[in-house]
Amino acid sequence: MTPTQNKPSATLEKVVIRFAGDSGDGMQFTGSQFAFTSALVGNDLATFPDFPAEIRAPKGTTGGVSGFQIQIGTVEIYTPGDAADVLVAMNPAALKSNLKFVKPGANLIIDIDAFDKRGAKKAGYEGDPLENPKMEAYHIIQAPITSLTKKAVADSGLDTKSQMQCRNMFALGLVYWLFERSVDQTIKELNQKFGKKAPAVAQANTDALMAGYNFGLTVEALPSTYKVPPAKKASGTYRHISGNVATAWGLMAAREKIGNILFYGSYPITPASDILHELSKHKHLDVITLQAEDEIAAVCSAIGASYAGQIGVTASSGPGIALKGEAIGLAMMAELPLVILNVQRGGPSTGLPTKTEQSDLNLAIKGRNGESPIIVLSASTPSQCFEMAYRAVKLAVEHMTPVMLLTDGYLANGSEPWKIPDLGALPPIQQPLAVAKEGETFLPYLRDPEKLSRFMAVPGTPGLEHRIGGLEKQDQTGNVSYDPANHEFMVKIRAEKIARVANYVPEQAIFGPKEGELLVVGWGGTFGALRTAVKELRDEGHNVSLAQFNYLSPLPKNTAEVLGNFKHRLVCELNLGQFANYLREQFPQYTYEQYNKVQGLPFTIQEIKEEILKHV
């Protein structure tokens, strides 16, 4: 919703704000400050950082622009928003690369001091970017951010470079004023961050923040301010959490529940590395992290840890998962627990490392040699990564199998408020430990009659000495066997073991009525856009529901029923139709329509709504 002008204070249901500047301009800090302050006010919100494609692009060029988008609302917020109502552009390059994410009629707050000839040229503009007739579609607020910041911090004693690093606080102050937010939390934060070590820096940033705020108060050229009243949220203690941190914490919570060690073998890769960074901070909570020499060593070391009775986890993104395939097959064959996190990005090959996509579903479900089924899960929102990572460990350990959890770059880096759970209430996790019986030979491939999973014989346990491996095994004894009938039997029992996991996962839920005209089908990280689109259309009176799948292989037991209760099914995903084809294979009795996007970008709510309207 675009703020309307000429009113002293307008109330908005929700609003999207985007901060954009040079990668050195501190846009991520600025955005997260605004997010936290809004959360304290009680807004629901979702954020997404837009990191520059290049690490150290020349200053002022579009390659080095860093952005941060946040949607805040008095209503429930499921995405960071399709397009911004307010854009803060710290230089011409930021304007140039972000205008496509801005709604017509939006407020553009620009640092007019940076919009000189040189700045425009560096950004690749010919002439003055603000003179372009296209710009008439926006309400431009020209704020002399650089010069006023300089003035505000002139007496700080800081060098010019440090002075300039306060510009983002000026911009933040202005945005705080625009949305009637208090500056207190940020001042507190600045003091915590710099107070002891560099009080002058804390003071200068505070001064810049206040200067920005006061600029809003005093300058007439600015529009009215806006109110976004608190959202109605379940009561409790909240915090912000990003998908990658939630994933890491979910694993750690599962470890704590079992009481063993979490071993994380990983090789740096975008966008999964932050999970490694997070886990590496918590060695005191029985986490071992190994930055392995390559992706294969990463997964193999995790399997080695699982073999030792611990929780072996590895993570990567598409290219790395491809490298891990053989080892995942080994864990499947040896029937050992293993959690593989795939933070999907744009593929194929190196693809679009910093962009999001859902094109590794085939790889997850089928990407190994031989008949090698594993459990495949996905997470829907940044905070739900916690629950799904916990579930991944639980299923891997209890069913003695690899589990792949699919998240994506959008979930990994996105963040949202999370109601802090009581960890005591999480379901227990039972390791199916084998027990030595006096006078009996241990049979490593004896199975639980219900789950069909074998029992874990941890090295170090007397009387359970045994050998396992990647060669086909004889039923029960686990001895190497080339017997044709045994091979087929084992292939089938391993498949049946995974199929039976359906008995242990929740039934598929539906948003909206359980039967009707159109069922929108999605999986994983598209939840926010699909949920919002479906809700808005339902509110407008359309007959549409949503089934967002988290359990992909095996599918929940009621899937056929869920799909069958609607006249049409529209499968929306960020690939060319991998889930749609999977459903066709599993439930050929239904027809499926598809909506696909492969641009490295998440769905917008608008495009989903338009697509749905073609089907209802």
Partner 1 sequence: MSSNSNPPLTRKDFTSDQTVRWCPGCGDYAILAAIQGAMPQLGLKKEDIVFISGIGCSSRFPYYMDTYGFHTIHGRAPALATGTKLSNPELDVWVVTGDGDALAIGGNHFIHLLRRNVDLNVLLFNNEIYGLTKGQSSPTSQPGLVTKSTPLGVIDRPFSPGQLAMGAGGTFFARTIDTNPKLMTQIFVESSRHRGTSLIEILQNCVIFNDKVFEDVTQKETQDDHQIHLEHGKPMLFGKDKEKGLILKGFKLEVVTLGENGVEEKDILVHDAHEQDPSLHTLLINMTLPTHPVALGIIRDVEAPTYGDLVKAQKADSQRKAKVKSMQELIESGHTWIV
- The residue ranges that bind partner 1 (CB under 8 A) are 36, 39-40, 42, 233-240, 249, 252-253, 256, 261, 263, 265, 282-286, 288, 290, 292-294, 296-298, 300-310, 312, 326-327, 330, 334, 419-424, 459-471, 479-480
Q: How far apart are CA 14 and CA 179, in angstroms?
A: 11
Task: Return the structure tokens found at 311.
Answer: 């929780």
Q: How far apart are CA 502 and CA 506, in angstroms?
A: 8
DSSP string for residues in 140-181 = EEEE-HHHHHHHHTGGG---HHHHHTTHHHHHHHHHHHHTT-
* β-pair partners for 89: 20, 110
Task: Return the structure tokens found at 525.
Answer: 């990280």
Nearer to partner 1, 307 or 410 (CB): 307
> What is the smallest separation between the CB atom of 21 and partner 1, expressed in angstroms?
23
* β-pair partners for 44: 73
Nearer to partner 1, 133 or 462 (CB): 462
Query: Quick one: which of 267, 303, 311, 259 has its CA closest to 285?
Result: 259
Nearer to partner 1, 7 or 232 (CB): 232
In the three-class reduction of DSSP (H, G, I as helix; E, B as strand; rest coil), residue 518 is classed as strand
Nearer to partner 1, 81 or 309 (CB): 309
> What is the smallest separation between the CB atom of 611 and partner 1, expressed in angstroms?
35
Specify the DSSP class assigned to residue 68.
E
> What is the smallest separation between the CB atom of 97 and partner 1, expressed in angstroms?
30
> What is the smallest separation between the CB atom of 193 and partner 1, expressed in angstroms?
12
Q: Which helix (H) or strand (E) holds 293?
A: none
> What is the smallest separation between the CB atom of 164 and partner 1, expressed in angstroms?
27
Nearer to partner 1, 308 or 491 (CB): 308
> What is the smallest separation between the CB atom of 318 and partner 1, expressed in angstroms?
21
Nearer to partner 1, 192 or 350 (CB): 192
Nearer to partner 1, 285 or 493 (CB): 285
Q: Is 473 left (phi over 0), alpha (psi -120 to 50) or beta?
A: beta
Nearer to partner 1, 56 or 281 (CB): 281
Whether the CB-CB separation of 144 and 116 falls below 8 Å is answered with no
Q: Which helix (H) or strand (E) holds 528?
A: helix 527-539
> What is the smallest separation between the CB atom of 304 and partner 1, expressed in angstroms?
3
Whether the CB-CB separation of 456 and 433 falls below 8 Å is answered with yes
> What is the smallest separation between the CB atom of 207 and partner 1, expressed in angstroms?
24
Query: Quick one: which of 374, 390, 414, 389 has its CA closest to 552?
Result: 374
